[in-house]
A and B are shown apart, each in its own frame.
Chain A
Amino acid sequence: MNNIHNQLIGTWTLLKKELLRFWRVAFQTVAAPVITGILYLLIFSHVLDSRVEVYEGVPYMAFLIPGLIMMSLLQNSFSNSSSSLIQAKVMGNIVFLLLTPLSYIQLFFSFLIASIARGIFVGFCIYLIATLYVDLPIEHPWIVFLFAVFGGGLMGAFGIIAGVWSERFDQMAAFGNFVIMPLSMLSGVFYSIHSLPASWQKVSQLNPFFYMIDGFRYGFFGQSDVSPYFSLSIVTIFFIVLSYGTIQMLKSGYKLRG
């Protein structure tokens, strides 16, 4: 009946479905955020490249790219799990999952891994296109990898929470517009927090997105506003706490099983 082999097939099937789901509409889920990221890059670098040098010896355009990659990665990881769940809830086809023997752990990992995969894929596409404009070597690939995985995972888990909690599309949109977008715009994607007044620097340090972007950027240049290990610790703690919360939410059946 329900043995480990069956459970692995079940988890893989849901993961595959979630990957295919965003791939089927890649124009919207991949091409659109890549184009947005590249537009940010071209506009900001055109305006500021000759005026701003954040890190010594690093052109502004190069400085901008890791932040844009991470911002897109985080937003798309969030979108993948959240939009899948809200659509399934509104359309009613969430019932197909709830009728199966898939456990809350299987649901969690399938949605989480698919979210990380989409985030990394979008980020990688932006990286590839950006390298056409500027030379961008990666100094610490493992740091880049760890921040990509934990950052994507954190947002994937947050997306599951948002998808389960929301009952309508406008509630889901509120997460994007009032939480994700402000936090990502005010996270130091376009600037170093050292250029901010002291009080705003403190506010920025309360923003978890800041650590994800700052640490990710360190992987490219070996320079950052705060220690990458401190950032990695913050991101890992957030990831673990959010994952725990998500798993408990799925286990309880909150808003899924009446």
Chain B
Amino acid sequence: MKKAIAFKSVKKNYGQLKAVNGITLSIEEGEFFGLLGPNGAGKSTLINMLAGLVKPTAGSISAMGFDVVKDYQNARHSLGIVPQELVFDPFFNLREMLRFQAGYFGKGKSNDIWVDEVIERLDLTAKASTNMRMLSGGMKRRALIAQALVHRPPVIVLDEPTAGVDVELRQKLWDFIKELNKEGHTIVLTTHYLEEAEALCNRVAMLRAGKVVALDTTNNLLKKFAAKNLKLRLSAKGVFKLPSSIKEINFSVDDDFYTFELKKIADISKIITALNKESIEILDMETVDQDLENIFLKLTGNKV
């Protein structure tokens, strides 16, 4: 399959700061790809270099086989970028803004039907003639998505598309983006909402300090860290020592709760037996499934 996007040894330095530090990564056509990472991990810098908003210090990036620097015009025809900030042009209404945006890509009057279709699919028809200033935040967010679609790009990049969006709209946007992917568009999503990546993305890359720390299918990542956690509340908090026999099992302490990472289910009886031996009472117990957030924390050591 053709590569929709390819980053090869891409670096971006801002003085001493290595914002992106040698990333090599390809995204296949038709994929729904997630780019995850804490603030400052390099996600937005990577997207901005792909979009041509920032120049790489080293390495090369291509979109649908076109180099984003040397063949930037064809590369940009292939990309529909949805920026993170809610920006808009206050002089025009929604339909005008979308027609202008399509025009910049060389799309003439014949494209106006598609513009109206995009407006309709994003449930904005009633607001098509409204000045951008008068639209609500959610509508502006949808308008930004519409802007990225007006020139029918094969690759759509969404930088935190659901940031600050209410639950109902978030679900609607998820459905819409899923639909676009089904229609054959390659989707690249950066997000802070790990549940979003888990629900939508076939494959994810996790970034930390400008480097990729994990790159796999979402399922494989979940499988790799599939073991459950055992969460216990114990009676003699703070002052007791855990039996040495269970110390080999990784655990973390949060308030009263001890969370043990189970490699196998048999670890549960080992832990309980050892605690009983030391007369440490178990007040509460639950098992917790792994999710991308836990995996993310393990890999990056950061809160998202």
Contact of A258 among B53, B76, B101 (CB under 8 A): B53
Q: Tell whether A17 is near chain B: CB-to-CB under 8 Å.
A: yes
Closest-by-CB residue of A relative to B78 is A1
Q: Tell whether A206 is near chain B: CB-to-CB under 8 Å.
A: no
| B77/A2 in contact, CB under 8 A | yes
Q: Tell whether B105 is near chain A: CB-to-CB under 8 Å.
A: yes
Q: In this complex, which of A10, A17, A97 has the most chain B Cβ atoms within 10 angstroms of its Cβ? A: A17
Q: Which of A88-96, A148-156, A185-193, A229-237 binds B? A: A88-96
Chain A nearest CB from B135 CB (Å) reads: 14
| A103/B73 in contact, CB under 8 A | yes
CA distance A164 to B23 in the complex (A): 31
Report how many A-B pairs have Cβ atoms within 8 Å.
Answer: 91
Contact of A91 among B73, B90, B92 (CB under 8 A): B90
| A101/B147 in contact, CB under 8 A | no
Closest-by-CB residue of A relative to B72 is A101
- Interface set, chain B 133-158, CB cutoff 8 A to A: 147
Closest-by-CB residue of A relative to B89 is A93
Closest-by-CB residue of A relative to B71 is A2
Q: Tell whether B88 is near chain A: CB-to-CB under 8 Å.
A: yes
- Interface set, chain A 1-29, CB cutoff 8 A to B: 1-3, 5-7, 9-10, 12-14, 16-17, 20-21, 24-25
Closest-by-CB residue of A relative to B49 is A258
| B91/A20 in contact, CB under 8 A | yes
Chain B nearest CB from A93 CB (Å) reads: 5
CA distance A16 to B100 in the complex (A): 9
Please indicate the chain A residues that have their CB under 8 angstroms from the CB of B76 in the complex. 99-101
Please indicate the chain A residues that have their CB under 8 angstroms from the CB of B77 in the complex. 1-2, 101
Q: What size tier do the contact residues of chain A reach?
A: 20 to 34
| B48/A10 in contact, CB under 8 A | no
| A1/B104 in contact, CB under 8 A | no
CA distance A96 to B97 in the complex (A): 10
Q: Tell whether B115 is near chain A: CB-to-CB under 8 Å.
A: no
Please indicate the chain A residues that have their CB under 8 angstroms from the CB of B73 in the complex. 1-2, 101, 103
| A258/B103 in contact, CB under 8 A | no
| A9/B107 in contact, CB under 8 A | yes
Closest-by-CB residue of B relative to A5 is B106
Please indicate the chain B residues that have their CB under 8 angstroms from the CB of A137 in the complex. none
- Interface set, chain A 226-258, CB cutoff 8 A to B: 253, 257-258
Q: In this complex, which of A12, A88, A102 has the most chain B Cβ atoms within 10 angstroms of its Cβ? A: A102
Please indicate the chain B residues that have their CB under 8 angstroms from the CB of A99 in the complex. 51-53, 76, 79, 81
Chain A nearest CB from B12 CB (Å) reads: 9
Q: Tell whether A98 is near chain B: CB-to-CB under 8 Å.
A: yes
Closest-by-CB residue of A relative to B81 is A99
Q: Tell whether B30 is near chain A: CB-to-CB under 8 Å.
A: no
Q: Tell whether B9 is near chain A: CB-to-CB under 8 Å.
A: no
Q: Tell whether B87 is near chain A: CB-to-CB under 8 Å.
A: yes
Closest-by-CB residue of B relative to A24 is B91
CA distance A208 to B231 in the complex (A): 79
| A7/B52 in contact, CB under 8 A | no
| B55/A9 in contact, CB under 8 A | no
Q: Which residues of B contact A (CB under 8 A)?
A: 48, 51-55, 72-74, 76-77, 79, 81, 83, 85, 87-92, 96, 100-101, 103-108, 147
**5 closest Cβ pairs, A-B complex:** A6-B106, A13-B103, A101-B73, A92-B87, A100-B104
Q: Which residues of A contact B (CB under 8 A)?
A: 1-3, 5-7, 9-10, 12-14, 16-17, 20-21, 24-25, 88, 91-93, 95-103, 253, 257-258
A-B contact pairs, 5 of them (CB 8 A): A6-B105, A13-B103, A21-B91, A25-B91, A257-B54
Known: A10-B106, A20-B96, A101-B105. 17 other contacts (CB 8 A): A2-B106, A7-B106, A9-B106, A9-B108, A10-B105, A12-B103, A14-B103, A16-B103, A25-B91, A91-B87, A91-B88, A92-B85, A98-B52, A99-B76, A101-B77, A101-B104, A257-B52
